[in-house]
Amino acid sequence: MLPPQSVLEHMNPFEHPFAQWLEQLEHFGRLPAADRQAVLDLPHRLRRLDAGAYLVREGDIPRHCAVLAKGYAFRQKLTGSGARQIMAVCIPGDAVDLQNMFLDVSDHSVQLLTQASVADIPREALQQLVRNRPAVGTAVIAVTLVESSILREWVVNVGRRDSRARIAHILCEFAVRLETRGMIHDGGFELPMTQEQLADATGLTSVHVNRVLKSLEVDGLISRRRRYIHFDNWRALQDVGDFSRRYLHVEDHDIIDEAS
């Protein structure tokens, strides 16, 4: 097992690699102080990795659970015919493979979208924590349930929405999720995805994604500067995307509306 990092490194809780993850765990209720400390004290090893690096490969039997301290990742699977589907995008503060704590073999791959700083927690340490601290256990289950809720919405998105709605919906989703981590700046955000990756997340072709993004721009809903997406008309974009934030289980406030 890895030794806990020195306490000195953790003097400022906002610089702790688990700071955002902890905030997420406390979304449905504050944890007792001892539980918070136990989360922060989890043994871990920090790694800096480049975009494209694999955190887990389908078929692996992982020994660690990774928390994204900085950077973005995505979950993907390849079909028998070689097509790729991205099933989820992980943002800073997400634990990317909690399921590997208890499930036997990884059923999909997780790859980094951007350069990232990743904290690997030995799975036994996390299992112990969840077993011994009911409040942490329940919080982790709640986070897993929200993740499932997002997956359900993605089934709906690729199953029953047209291409324009799919793209608008995914942009709205990112906006609200990033907002909860304080990552919306000037009424927009940096979208660290290529058009090909967006296509793989929405079951479209990249040509199609390109066309939809242009049409959303022409219609005055968004504007783009390289990977930065600005919401020019947040309300209308939500309408196009058939978007309601209920499935994200976050508070009902609209920072973006104020900014746009």
Partner 1 sequence: MRPLVIENHPLAALARRWSRHTELTPHDRDALLAMPFTRKAYSKDGYIVREGQQTTECCLLLRGFAFRQKLLSNGTRQIISIHIPTEFVDLQNGLLGTADHSVQSLDRCEVAVIARPVILEVASSYPNLRMAMWIDTLIDGSIFREWVVNVGRRDARARIAHLLCELALRLEQIEAGRHGMFDFPITQEQLADCTGLTAVHTNRTLQSLRKDGLIQLTARTLTVLDWDGLREVGDFDELYLHHQAGTGAR
- Would you tell me which residues interact with partner 1 (CB under 8 A)? 28, 58-59, 61, 75, 77, 79-81, 83-85, 87-88, 98-105, 107-108, 123, 127, 130-132, 134-135, 137-138, 140-142, 144-149, 151-156, 158-162, 165, 202-203, 242, 246-247, 249
Q: Write the DSSP string, 120-165.
A: EEEHHHHHHHHHH-HHHHHHHHHHHHHHHHHHHHHHHHHHH--HHH
User: In whole angstroms, how close is the CB of 259 to partner 1 at the nearest point?
Assistant: 25
User: In whole angstroms, how close is the CB of 122 to partner 1 at the nearest point?
Assistant: 12
Residue 70's SS3 state is strand
Comparison of 9 and 107: residue with beta carbon closer to partner 1: 107
Determine contact, residues 44/2, Cβ cutoff 8 Å. yes
Comparison of 49 and 146: residue with beta carbon closer to partner 1: 146
Helix boundaries (H) for the chain: 19-25, 33-40, 123-132, 134-160, 163-180, 195-202, 206-218, 234-241, 255-259
Place of tokens 């967006």: 198
Comparison of 134 and 220: residue with beta carbon closer to partner 1: 134
User: In whole angstroms, how close is the CB of 240 to partner 1 at the nearest point?
Assistant: 10
User: In whole angstroms, how close is the CB of 146 to partner 1 at the nearest point?
Assistant: 7
**Residues contacting residue 79 through CB under 8 Å, at least 6 positions apart:** 85
Comparison of 48 and 246: residue with beta carbon closer to partner 1: 246
Q: Quote the CA–CA distance of 193 and 120 in Å, as a whole number.
A: 24
User: In whole angstroms, how close is the CB of 85 to partner 1 at the nearest point?
Assistant: 4
Q: Quote the CA–CA distance of 130 and 120 in Å, as a whole number.
A: 16
Comparison of 17 and 174: residue with beta carbon closer to partner 1: 174
User: In whole angstroms, how close is the CB of 235 to partner 1 at the nearest point?
Assistant: 14
Determine contact, residues 75/110, Cβ cutoff 8 Å. yes
Comparison of 108 and 230: residue with beta carbon closer to partner 1: 108
Residue 177's SS3 state is helix
User: In whole angstroms, how close is the CB of 12 to partner 1 at the nearest point?
Assistant: 31
Comparison of 205 and 233: residue with beta carbon closer to partner 1: 205
Q: How far is CA 235 from the centre of its chain?
A: 23
